[in-house]
Each structure stands twice: as structure tokens, then as C-alpha cells.
Amino acid sequence: MALSAVLRPGHVGLRVLDLDAALKHYRDSLGLIETARDAQGRIYLKGWDELDWFSVVLREADAPGMDYMAFKVLNATHLARYEAALKAFGCKVECIPAGELAHCGERVRFDSPTGHVFELYCEKEVYGNGMGRQNPNPWVEGLKGMQAQRFDHCLIYGDDLDGTVKLFREVLEFDLTERVMEGDLMVGAFLCCSNKAHDLALIRHPEKAKLHHVSFLLGSWEEVLRAADLISMHDISLDIGPTRHGITRGRTIYFFDPSGNRNEVFSGDYTWYPDHEPITWTTDQLGRAIFFHDRQLNEKFLSVVT
């Protein structure tokens, strides 16, 4: 198989301080579609062009951040294979029964050397994108806000970057697409299970289990600029942008949800294939690697995490 049996980022569980404020942000500003609520009070959302039932789960808590990030796997055979490999790698693995998250099958939850919690699953009910699979229209009407198409990736911060990169490359068959090197030390890693510039990114950081941002895909640079308008129109906390990343080539803008979790909406990268050589960035050029236009590092962007 040319690509991994891990298909894509499937969902992310986020903690928020105020569920109503978070719903307003993710539904009305990002334009995600609310698709379910459960007995625990969790709210489920998805991007308009995602077919599965949800990709974001919001939970009210006393500290924001990421509970878990999950990847969808091709089928049960591969899920069982990965589960065994995760145990052999030394991960703490836990099976969460189908239905614990509404509309989702059994999830294989595991920890990682950077302290982040991840999950794999292979079944989730189809909600659809509103256009059907026969002779469909190209887009749906009546969307809100930034009209995010899908949950795309997360950037996470943690201490044992080498360990988590090894886990994803050796056990889950991800490719390293880009890396940031401080001499011999890898300080940034961009990992992919598909054809994208990244499905998961990591930055080395002294604390474990931190979230830098959750990213959503838009259709064009014009839509990124329109998102920038909405950030001011809705008085959303802006971080930085609109700008261009050197790393991954994304055209991007960053902002915060009402609890301080950073979001990105972006457009454009490139097509990755597993025979490509990874791209290497050196920290003496880190300014243009991160912000290709300003070519200046931004301490807030690098330091603020939840």
C-alpha cells in the first residue's frame, strides 16, 4: 500500500471553559455544523464537507486544551494490527466501547511519549455533506461564518518529540514530510498519513501534552481573507495573519476560541508522496520558515499554548 492504513485525522476532543460561548464560536464563526449532543453534555460538530458524523467534540471543563486526537483507520483488520503494535511499542492502550462517543465505533486509545492522548477507530456513522453521492452539487448553501470544510490537523507541543515521532513513523506508518533542526536536534516535526503536508505536527517544548492549535481547511486564499474579516466582525481574539507559512506552504490565519484554544484556518499545501525526501528547515532561518512574509519570529505564536 502506497499510503498508510491510517486514513486521516478523524476527530479532536477539546476542553472549553464555557460550552455556550464555544458552540457560538465553532458553529457561527468557524461555520462547523452541530450534529449531536450527548447525555454528558458534550457537543459534536463537523465541517460541511466531512462525511462522517463529527470531527470536533466540545466538553466543558475548568481548564482548556486537548483531551485526545483521533485518526480513522481503513478497517478492523488494520485497527487490530495497530492495536497490537501500539502495545508492543509500550503504549498504554485502552479500548473504549462503541457508542461512548455518539455515532462512533470502538476506539483504541493510547498515550504517547509527549503525554498526548490519541485514538484510532475504523467505524463512524455517515452524516453526509448534504449533497448526496449521486450527481451531487459542488457545494451546499446556507453555511455560516468561515465555512470551514474539514478538521485538518493539530499542532501539539511536548517534551519527548523524538519518542512521539518514532511512534507515529514506526507504529502508525506516518511519513515525516518536514522537520525543523537545531543542529542535530529535531525541534519541529510534520507528519502525514496521507497525501498532505501534515496530518499532525509537533514542536519540542518543556511541558507535556500541550495544544498549539487545531486547524481547519478553507477553499482558497480569498476565503482566508474573508475569515480575517469575520475575526474582526465577530470580535474574535486574533493571533497572527493572514500570512504564508514557509513550512507546509499554507496560507493561513490564527485566532483563539473563547477559552484560549488556538485555531487555524488555512488554504493550500502540496501533494506529498511517500517517495519524497522530507524538507528540512534550520532554526537560523526559522523566521521565514514560520512566517514567510514577515520573516520574524513571533514569541506569542511560539509560546502561547493550552
Partner 1 sequence: MSAPRHQIVIADTAETYLCGEDETLLKAMERLNRKGIPVGCRGGGCGICKVQITAGDCLRRRMSRAHVSVEDEARGIGLACCLLPQSDVTLQVLGQLRAPVLAAQSRWKT
**Does residue 254 have an active-site annotation?**
yes
Nearest in space to 26 (alpha carbons), one of 40, 42, 3, 10: 42
Nearer to partner 1, 96 or 117 (CB): 117
Kindly report the backbone phi and psi dihedral angles of residue 264, in degrees, each rounded to the nearest multiple of 5, phi listed first.
-125, 145
Give residue 198's identity as a one-letter amino acid code: H
198 in catalytic set: yes
**Alpha-carbon distance 165 to 169, whole Å?**
6
Residues that bind partner 1 (rule: CB under 8 A) add up to a total of 32
Residue numbers 124-183 binding partner 1 by CB under 8 A: 159, 182
Binding mask 36-65 for partner 1 (x = CB under 8 A): --------------------------xxxx
| Binding status of residue 84 toward partner 1 by CB under 8 A | no
Binding status of residue 209 toward partner 1 by CB under 8 A: no
Is 205 one of the catalytic residues?
no
Say how far apart CA 119 and CA 200 lie, in whole Å. Answer: 13
Nearest to partner 1 of 277, 299 (CB atom): 299
- Contact of 155 with 257, CB cutoff 8 Å: no
Element (H, E) at 165: helix 161-166
Minimum CB–partner distance for residue 134 and partner 1 (Å): 43
Instruction: Considering only residues 230 through 289, tell me which ones interact with partner 1, judged by CB under 8 A.
Output: 237, 239, 256-262, 283, 286
State yes or no: residue 184 binds partner 1 (CB under 8 A): no
Contact between 228 and partner 1 per CB under 8 A: no
DSSP count for the chain of H helices, then E strands: 6, 17
The contacts of residue 297 (CB under 8 Å, 6+ apart) are 286, 287, 290, 291
* Closer by beta carbon to partner 1, 14 or else 32: 14
Catalytic residue, chosen from 26, 68, 213, 223, is: 213
Which of 40, 137, 282, 303 touches partner 1 by CB under 8 A?
Answer: 303
Q: How far is CA 267 from CA 43, 57, 216, 262, in A?
A: 26, 23, 9, 17
Rounded distance between C-alpha atoms, residue 215 and residue 213, angstroms? 6
Binding site for partner 1 (CB under 8 A): 17-18, 62-65, 159, 182, 185, 187, 204-206, 237, 239, 256-262, 283, 286, 297, 299-300, 302-306
- List residues with catalytic annotation: 153, 198, 213, 245, 254, 264
